[in-house]
Amino acid sequence: MKKFITLASLSFLVLFSSLFVNTSSTEAAGNTKLLIAEAKKLIGTPYRYGGTTPRGFDCSGFVYYTHKKIGITLPRSSKLMYQKGKTVYKSGLKPGDLVFFNTSKSRKGVSHVAIYIGDNRIIHAVSKGVKIDNLNNSYWKKRYVGAKRL
């Protein structure tokens, strides 16, 4: 009887303590998969300056929209998005990280944002619409500014 009470108490303690375990990494992994799935559904959507809907996106509108679909609100511009989250080294990128570039010849700072999806690939809205590109292709490689993890 004493063993049963001890076992029952231990089981209750394990069950009760599991309610307080940090599941944020599991939730983050689930959110990342949802984010990338939402983003991939939009491949081929046309580019539209200022666009924030599946009728057409600009780069930050695409990132804003896909994050909003999974319940995350971001600022609307790539410049303001770059001010959010934790800085990540390029060598430490994980799927779901935001990747920033300077595509402007006349301005300094950030002018383009994409979502890192793994294997050196990014998904973003460019003049040809929403597409996947290699992060290390010559165009993006020399315009890379940094990355953030939300």
Residue 17 is given by DSSP the state H
Beta strands in the chain (DSSP E): 52-53, 56-57, 86-88, 98-101, 112-118, 121-126, 129-134, 144-149
What is the set of active-site residues? 59, 112, 124
> Do residues 145 and 109 make contact, with C-beta atoms less than 8 angstroms apart?
yes
User: How many Cα atoms occupy the beta-carbon half-sphere of 19 within 13 Å?
Assistant: 4
